[in-house]
């Protein structure tokens, strides 16, 4: 018998303060990333990510509204609280529904969605509900049941239970890149389980390689790796206008701030880190790691010659 998952432990022994904390530690970053993804589809979030992170670290802490439109923070808080109320409710009905789902799929010989994927459906469902109930002229039109739907509740549940789209994986990939930018060291084994097993491609394997190196490197070598991660993340997403925050430095980087900047290496990255950094040396470290890994086939011969990944 394999190791018992956290949701199974809760169903067997019930909720305790320790298990609640373990659940938030294990799934809080995913819930936050999903909320940000859905809200990012609707507008410019500004400092909202920092506020959600503060809620994750201290649920009782009052949010700081500076730099964040109140309506965004209110909606994000409603979604965050709604998700955890569903998960932590007395008797664990949400976890029991997942258990029933697993048992039904196994009986019918069908593939079982991991709990993390099932949880994404819950975040999407709560988001749609909160957005539909949102007052004001800026309510989300695509979060409302179409005209003629007699049972909007069932329609929303159907939307949340639709087959997963590829973009769902990008939410988790962004969450790991965000951790790599910050003072966090995500476990490479988790990246393999959450990303590579689902999508064995250069983007997910590069994320894994950076996580491995971040565990191994120290001092200047670690800072040079962070510079490369910053450069790579700046090339992700839609290009954005406007300058970055004036107080931006290597110690307060986040994906929300970096993505879409499309920074140049010499002019932007080296200036941000205050020194000359040889990008080719960092790339060489990543290549050497990948050559000795199960993912060597993802390094093209052309890439080895010209110094790209």
Nearest to 300 by CA among 196, 292, 308: 308
Q: Is the full-model pTM beyond 0.75? A: no
Number of CB atoms found within 10 A of residue 147's CB: 5
Q: What is the pLDDT averaged over residues 61-85?
A: 68
pLDDT of residue 143: 45
Q: Which of 83-92, 236-245, 292-301 is predicted least confidently?
A: 292-301
pLDDT tens-digit map of 248-280: 999 999 988 999 999 999 999 999 999 999 999
Distances (CA, A) of 170 to 86, 93, 122, 219: 24, 29, 17, 30
Q: Which residue reads 């880190």 in tokens? A: 273
pLDDT tens-digit map of 232-253: 999 988 888 888 888 999 999 9
Q: Which two tokens stand for residue 85?
A: 């109320």
Question: Residues 199, 228: contact at Cβ < 8 Å?
Answer: no
C-alpha to C-alpha distance for 51 and 77, rounded to whole angstroms: 9
pLDDT over 70 at 60, yes or no:
no
Query: Which of residues 300 and 94 earns the better pLDDT score?
Result: 94
Q: What is the pLDDT averaged over residues 66-87?
A: 76
pLDDT of residue 303: 43
217 dihedral zone (left: phi>0; alpha: psi -120 to 50; beta): beta
pLDDT of residue 65: 42
pLDDT of residue 168: 45
pLDDT over 70 at 294, yes or no:
yes
pLDDT tens-digit map of 182-236: 878 888 988 887 778 767 888 889 999 999 999 999 999 999 999 999 999 999 8
Question: Residues 214, 225: contact at Cβ < 8 Å?
Answer: yes
Q: Which residue reads 């500076």 in tokens? A: 66
pLDDT of residue 277: 95
pLDDT over 50 at 44, yes or no:
no
CA dihedral 268, 51, 14, 156 (to 10 degrees): -90
Q: Over the chain, what is the mean pLDDT?
A: 78
pLDDT of residue 120: 85
Distances (CA, A) of 156 to 142, 150, 151, 159: 11, 12, 9, 5
pLDDT tens-digit map of 132-180: 666 543 444 444 455 555 665 565 555 544 544 433 456 778 888 999 9
Query: Which of residues 33 and 191 earns the better pLDDT score?
Result: 191
């Amino acid at each position: 018998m394999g190791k018992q998952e956290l949701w199974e432990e809760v169903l067997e022994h019930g909720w305790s303060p320790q298990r609640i904390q373990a659940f938030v530690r294990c799934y809080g970053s995913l819930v936050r990333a999903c909320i940000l993804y859905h809200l990012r589809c609707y507008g410019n979030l500004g400092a909202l990510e920092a506020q959600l992170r503060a809620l994750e670290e201290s649920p009782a802490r009052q949010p700081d509204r500076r730099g964040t439109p109140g309506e965004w923070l209110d909606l994000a808080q409603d979604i965050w609280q709604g998700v955890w109320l569903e998960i932590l409710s007395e008797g664990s009905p949400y976890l029991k529904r997942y258990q029933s789902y697993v048992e039904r799929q196994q009986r019918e010989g069908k593939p079982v969605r991991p709990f993390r994927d099932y949880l994404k459906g819950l975040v999407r469902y709560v988001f749609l509900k909160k957005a539909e109930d949102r007052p004001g002229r800026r309510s989300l039109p695509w979060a409302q049941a179409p005209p003629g739907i007699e049972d909007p509740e069932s329609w929303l549940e159907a939307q949340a239970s639709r087959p997963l789209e590829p973009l769902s994986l990008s939410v988790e990939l962004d969450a790991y890149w965000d951790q790599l930018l910050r003072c966090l060291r995500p476990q490479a084994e988790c990246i393999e389980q959450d990303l590579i097993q689902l999508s064995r491609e250069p983007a997910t394997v590069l994320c894994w390689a950076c996580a491995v190196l971040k565990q191994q490197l120290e001092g200047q070598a670690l800072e040079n790796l962070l510079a490369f991660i910053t450069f790579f993340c700046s090339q992700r997403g839609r290009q954005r206008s406007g300058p970055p925050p004036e107080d931006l430095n290597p110690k307060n980087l986040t994906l929300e701030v970096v993505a879409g900047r499309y920074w140049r290496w010499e002019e932007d990255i080296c200036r941000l880190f205050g020194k000359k950094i040889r990008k080719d040396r960092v790339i060489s470290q990543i290549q050497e790691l990948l050559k000795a890994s199960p993912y060597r086939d993802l390094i093209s011969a052309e890439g080895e010659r010209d110094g790209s990944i």
